[in-house]
Structure 1
Amino acid sequence: MKSASRRNLTRCALSLPFILAATVSARAEEDPCPPLIPPVDMQKIMTDPDLTDMERLKLLQNSGRDIREPATWSGCHTVLDKTDIYAPITIEPGTTLKFKENAGLDIHSGGSLNASGTADKPVTFTADDEMPGYWYGLYFDSNSSKNRLVHSTITYAGGNQKGSGSPMKRATGDSNPATRAVMVHEGASLRLENTHISHAKGYGIEVLGALQDFKNNKIDHTDVPARLIPDTVGTIDENSTFTDNEKNRIDLVALGTLKQDASWVDPGIPYIWNHITTIAANLELQPGVEIRMGTESRMSISETGSLKAIGTAEKPIVIHGVSSVPGSWEGIYIKSNSDKNVWKYVRVADGGDGGSFKTSVYVGGYLDISDSWIENSRNIGLLVNKSSGIDATIKKSGIQYKDNKIDYQEKD
């Protein structure tokens, strides 16, 4: 009889976090901002004479950090620790979640987080203490289409994320920030609309997976607003803003190849291109876009890709080095015969180092370039390689060369 009672007690204790997570709104009458999942009485677990060592261990392992049943959250609640979500969670408009130090939410496979507020009633994720990096952040490791941050505000996140169970996935030798307020892992996805991320330590958002949308968002007062894989940049719309950050830039992650057709808008800050990346789809750069190329970086347009870059006299497209030293990056290599390779009012500067041809712009395919500038190349400014095995063709007019070792060269 005693053994049966003990088993019943254990089952109740193990299910308690799930019941509490699904009914947290009912507790708001007792506490204006009660714990999302109340802490477990560790002393009671350790001293209860009716528990076996195995039952005690299971209770400690299930101490309220996992949510495995669907739930709807509303009102105001405090998140005490890093909480792992394995089920669909809906957050109602006007809800506030306050996070204790290093607390946060990890959304795993099988789980989702749908925080869809309204303009009048946003969903708020904030810290118990208003200090940048005070709490851990929101980590998405789920590819659910229900993962949404809409009309939400996220403040003071980006805290200690080491040992959190969410891999950092940093490039070797990467000196960029190692924390972020919102993280979308490889294979995961998120829709971000009308959301404000501010006062974060590290990146405002880092995306190694997919962005379903990125519209009307605002990121400010972070170390760096965003770090994105190239295939997600095309989701950024003209109404999103990135201001008042310590370093106003969008870092691009090199994951090999840009595979999706895209149009990149001018976000008002530069994109930082730090690696050798192949463009295997149709990429269009809008007027005013600035791309700053890191050391040994290269933009390579493959046979299946194209680069359309048409600026204006008032808003030229600029592709130049992070450093203004000649040869601080490799160059742009065009191996595509697409008639979409059209450049107008484009300035290319500071390239011409490394690679096979040591040129800022290499044409081994097709390029129509006019009213543009090629400057500060360590070696050749513009090279047309007619012996490339592809019928290299160039249409050029109104090109201005400046401070190149060699302005223009054709190789038969």
Structure 2
Amino acid sequence: MQDAQRVLSRLVPVGALVAALAVGAVACDDDDDTNNTPAPADTGQDAAADVGVDTSVDATPDTTADTAPDTTAENQAPTAVIAAPTEIEATGTITFDGSGSTDPDGDALSYTWEVTSAPDLSLATLDDASAEMPTLLADAAGEVVIELTVSDGELEDTATATVTVTCPAPVEVSGDIDTDTTWPANGYGCTHYLVTGTVRVLEGLTIEPGVNVSFEQGTGMRHSRGATSPFVAEGTATHPILFTGTTESPGHWKGLLISSDLADNSLVDVIIEYGGSEAWWSDVRAGNLSVMDLTTGGTVASASIEHTTLRHSADAGLVTAEQGASFPVFNANVVTQNAVPVSINANQLQWLGAPGDNDFTGNTDDYIEIHDATTGNRVVDGQNWVDMGVPYHFTDNVHVLSAADLVVEPGVELLFAENTALYVGGTIEAVGTASEPVRFASILDQDGAWNGIRIESNSVVNVLEHVVVEDGGQSRIGAGVDEPANLTLFKNNGRDASITLRDSVFRDSAGVDITFQNESFTDYQLRDCSNVTFETPPVSCPFPAP
């Protein structure tokens, strides 16, 4: 309507135009100094005729020349305006208000919102990116940068705003948790729970993805053996659960202990760091994570552990004790930057997964320690020892009991402390390859620094093939054995020891490489002895009867 009025205001009546021309003609006559004769009266028609103006009267004004749009009235751009808080606590909802945006022409506006920057851990999205007032959950600590673009259909304008998301104060925890409890993540990237005194979890505890638990010096957390609900800490690859110390120093806090035997105990995408200040039991090492019952002959503590990192312990990354621990799943874990990666009982080695499933490197000492705690390293079940990428260190004697079958796969290194030995009362199948032999040797890597292997079963399954046995012969293994040796064949409970030897090397013994109880070779069954080298003293298979 305003444009139409501007057009009409510029229309000039024809009569006014004629009058103006007439006046102009008179003015021109007055300026002619050479003609002083008064001009005859001018009726108006003659003046109009002189300039070629049509003086005929038309009652309808001709407006055709003035109906075109006024191109000088250009559209003007709108102005984007954002109203938002400058700071908000995590888990709050941010409202972004674009209603203050304006358009000078009064045109309707459309809104386009975009989060151009957010904390790395944030998962939040705008509820409606085209609304005038969208909202966003402040789910992670850090800065959120939002951009608003407003448009009138032709022109647009952009504005930005920054909101700082802060962490709430952590919840302080100590003492007993005696009911099933869930710990949520109230803002990713924050410390959610502060342990000020050692916590006993007497029932179930579920910890949600992204939760950070910080422990003051010397404190720890224990899931007790009598719990009827599981300990479940399951994070995600992008939002792991973190157990850490209030100071980033190895040995700052005690560690996490799981003593219950519940099959649903689970740690997935968890980081445990800076523990190992003190062992949970005097006969074992300290560690970031201990899975064991603290009573002799008690329950078998259990936990599935996947995609979990155990690091920066002052002692071991993972600790077990006795026969009482199982890992139904142990896969894709990283145990690194500890004093040692694992301290475990021999009967639990079967739980450590397949070759390449886990990473035990990058520690001060890269080996899996096998200890006896109080009852000895007894292999009572079927065991399959695989190459974990690091050697096995045996700090005490290992006994493969009569009902147990031990399989040692290619590439495995079994290193023994001084005055220790491997006793085979069940069966042993140690079969390597030419490129990946099985190695039995001393931790000290010197002649005569452990006692060797004693075979005391008569199973036809017993075989040592593509193996190296060295550094043994520190002491005789058993009564009636005259000489220390790398390999001793021993008659036990009336059973004649039996063994198959192929493609193997025996060397660097402090005594001899092979010996027999009472030196009676005829009492033993050497089923095969092909391509075997005995270096101390040099002998060859088969042996002559003494």
What TM bracket, shorter-length normalisation?
Answer: 0.7 to 0.9
Alignment partner, residue 500 of structure 2: 368
Q: Per-residue CA shift, 1:13-53, capped at 9, x if unaligned? A: xxxxxxxxxxxxxxx9995351243xxxxxxxxxxxxxxxx
Query: TM (normalized to structure 1)?
Result: 0.78
Query: Which structure 2 residues correspond to residues 360-399 of structure 1 after superposition, within 5 A?
Result: 360-364=486-490, 365-384=497-516, 387=520, 391-399=524-532
Q: Secondary structure at the match of 2:214?
A: strand
Query: Which structure 2 residues correspond to residues 125-144 of structure 1 after superposition, within 5 A?
Result: 125-144=243-262
Alignment partner, residue 225 of structure 1: 341
Shift of 1:282: 0.9
Shift of 1:321: 0.7
For 2:255 and 2:345, locate their aligned partners in 1 and report how far apart those are by CA, in whole Å.
20
For 1:119 and 1:77, locate their aligned partners in 2 and report how far apart those are by CA, in whole Å.
21
Gaps of 5+ in 2: 1-140, 142-164, 186-191, 294-298, 491-496
Aligned amino acid, residue 508 of structure 2: N
Q: Does the 8 A contact of 2:208 with 2:233 survive in 1? A: yes
Q: 1:390 to 1:72 in 2, by over 3 A?
A: farther
Aligned amino acid, residue 203 of structure 1: A
For 2:278 and 2:526, locate their aligned partners in 1 and report how far apart those are by CA, in whole Å.
53
Shift of 1:103: 2.1
Q: 1:167 to 1:349 in 2, by over 3 A?
A: same
For 1:227 and 1:272, locate their aligned partners in 2 and report how far apart those are by CA, in whole Å.
9
Q: Per-residue CA shift, 1:355-400, capped at 9, x if unaligned? A: 2332211234221111111001111202255859965333111112
Q: 1:274 to 1:160 in 2, by over 3 A?
A: closer
Gaps of 5+ in 1: 1-27, 38-63, 171-177
1:301 equivalenced with 2:433 (yes/no): no
Aligned amino acid, residue 216 of structure 1: A
Could you list the runs of 4 or more consecutive aligned residues of structure 1 that deviate by over 3 angstroms after TM superposition? 28-31, 384-391, 405-412
Aligned amino acid, residue 223 of structure 1: A
Alignment partner, residue 334 of structure 1: 455
Q: 1:33 to 1:204 in 2, by over 3 A?
A: farther
Q: Per-residue CA shift, 1:236-274, capped at 9, x if unaligned? A: 122111111111111101224201101111111110112
Q: Per-residue CA shift, 1:331-378, capped at 9, x if unaligned? A: 111112222212221000010122233221123422111111100111
For 1:372 and 1:100, locate their aligned partners in 2 and report how far apart those are by CA, in whole Å.
54
For 1:383 and 1:394, locate their aligned partners in 2 and report how far apart those are by CA, in whole Å.
16
Q: Secondary structure at the match of 2:171?
A: coil
1:167 equivalenced with 2:278 (yes/no): no
Q: Does the 8 A contact of 1:105 with 1:139 survive in 2? A: yes
For 1:325 and 1:410, locate their aligned partners in 2 and report how far apart those are by CA, in whole Å.
30
Shift of 1:190: 2.2
For 1:139 and 1:108, locate their aligned partners in 2 and report how far apart those are by CA, in whole Å.
8
Aligned amino acid, residue 303 of structure 2: L
Equivalent in 191, 197, 205 of residue 81 of structure 1: 197
Shift of 1:121: 2.7
Q: Secondary structure at the match of 2:179?
A: coil
How well do the aligned residues superpose, as a CA RMSD in angstroms? Answer: 2.3
Aligned amino acid, residue 369 of structure 1: L
Q: Does the 8 A contact of 1:116 with 1:123 survive in 2? A: yes
Q: Per-residue CA shift, 1:62-83, capped at 9, x if unaligned? A: xx41111110112122222211
For 1:368 and 1:263, locate their aligned partners in 2 and report how far apart those are by CA, in whole Å.
19
Shift of 1:319: 0.6
Q: Secondary structure at the match of 1:242?
A: coil
For 1:117 and 1:83, locate their aligned partners in 2 and report how far apart those are by CA, in whole Å.
21
For 2:505 and 2:391, locate their aligned partners in 1 and report how far apart those are by CA, in whole Å.
19
Alignment partner, residue 392 of structure 2: 271
For 2:286 and 2:469, locate their aligned partners in 1 and report how far apart those are by CA, in whole Å.
33
Q: 1:211 to 1:144 in 2, by over 3 A?
A: same
Aligned amino acid, residue 288 of structure 2: A
Query: Which structure 2 residues correspond to residues 4-403 of structure 1 after superposition, within 5 A?
Result: 32-37=168-173, 64-75=174-185, 76-111=192-227, 112-160=230-278, 166-170=280-284, 178-186=285-293, 187=299, 188-208=301-321, 209-212=324-327, 213-237=329-353, 238=355, 239-254=357-372, 255-280=376-401, 281-302=404-425, 305-354=426-475, 355-356=477-478, 357=481, 358-364=484-490, 365-384=497-516, 387=520, 391-402=524-535
Aligned amino acid, residue 397 of structure 2: I
For 2:522 and 2:259, locate their aligned partners in 1 and report how far apart those are by CA, in whole Å.
44
Q: Secondary structure at the match of 2:218?
A: coil
Query: Identity of paired residues, percent?
Result: 26
For 1:257 and 1:410, locate their aligned partners in 2 and report how far apart those are by CA, in whole Å.
35
Q: 1:343 to 1:127 in 2, by over 3 A?
A: same
For 1:301 and 1:156, locate their aligned partners in 2 and report how far apart those are by CA, in whole Å.
39
For 1:388 and 1:375, locate their aligned partners in 2 and report how far apart those are by CA, in whole Å.
20
Q: Per-residue CA shift, 1:109-158, capped at 9, x if unaligned? A: 22342112232332211122211111211012222223221221111111
